Amino acid sequence: MNIVRASNYEDMSKKAAEYVLRKLSEKPDAVLGLATGSTPAGLYEQLIIEHQKRNVSYRQIRTINLDEYIGLPADDENSYHSFMNTQLFRHIDIPLANTHLPNGEAADLPAECSRYEALIDHLGIDLQLLGIGENGHIGFNEPGTSFGQTTHMTTLAESTRQANARFFPSIEAVPQQAITMGIASIMKSREILLMASGRRKAAAIERLMSGETGEDFPASVLHRHPHVTILADEEALSTVT
Ligand code: F6R
């Protein structure tokens, strides 16, 4: 596990962008596993700047997102489809046909999970981007999720719904369930970049760095992956000795 320190959120976002662009210069048609939330938003902003100011093209990349809420229409402003469109896709030259998210409105949700896992296997993720929940979740794999789990439907932990309520009009509006890549799906990626910023993430980063592995702390599975980088800022690393 490789640790990269950043001074703050902006520095973390710039370093993450450099990392992603390095990958794309080696492999212009790379498959990127994407995350939503506050953590990668600054990285996406940097990727957009590179496109607009330096003509970097994302035409050949393919993307596959970690998760989507169940029951929110794709065009709801809080769906992860909308997040990706507004924070990244609509500002760059990636064809939308090259982008993939789970369909949280599928009539047959278990079939949608199987379709998504087959897509992950078919595309093969070169670089998976991850944030981390305060409880150690990755994707929406909450504590207690089996490390063997592939894409599945999950019920969000109450603490996760509270953390995500900041994007919704009220806590009641936050969906109860989501489709998420499983821990085993994430572990299939060739390379993983986990980002963390702010004091709110310090306890999770401290636990991750302790090296102790267990299903009560999903991110700890990353110790079993051969190619992981943790990119964290000073505040997120503030309690790591
Ligand atoms: C998002 C995701 C989640 C977030 C995590 C941290 O697609 O899968 O695991 O990465 O909840 O969220 P933020 O970045 O908003 O603190």
pLDDT tens digit sequence for 144-179: 999 999 999 999 999 999 999 999 999 999 999 999
Is pLDDT above 90 for 136?
A: yes
Mean pLDDT of the chain: 97
- The response to whether residue 138 sits with its C-beta less than 6 Å from ligand 1 reads yes
Strands 67-69 and 177-180: antiparallel
Of all atoms in ligand 1, which is nearest to the CA of residue 80? 7
> Domains of the chain: which residue ranges?
2-233
CB of 84 closer than 6 angstroms to any ligand 1 atom: no
129: nearest Cα among 8, 236, 23: 23
For ligand 1, atom 4, name the residue with the nearest CA. Answer: 131
Catalytically annotated residues: 67, 135, 137, 142
CB 45 within 8 A of CB 131: no
Tell me the pTM: 0.97
pLDDT at 29 over 90: yes
Q: Is residue 142 lining ligand 1, measured as CB closer than 6 Å?
A: no
Q: What is the per-residue pLDDT for 216? A: 98
Contacts of 112 (CB under 8 A, 6+ apart): 102, 103, 106, 179
- Give me the pLDDT at residue 241, please: 78
pLDDT, position 223: 98
For residue 237, count CB atoms less than 10 angstroms from its CB and return exposed for 0-12, middle for 13-18, buried for 19 or more.
Answer: buried
The class level of CATH for 2-233 reads alpha beta
Ligand 1 pocket check for 204: Cβ under 6 Å: no
ipTM value for the complex: 0.99
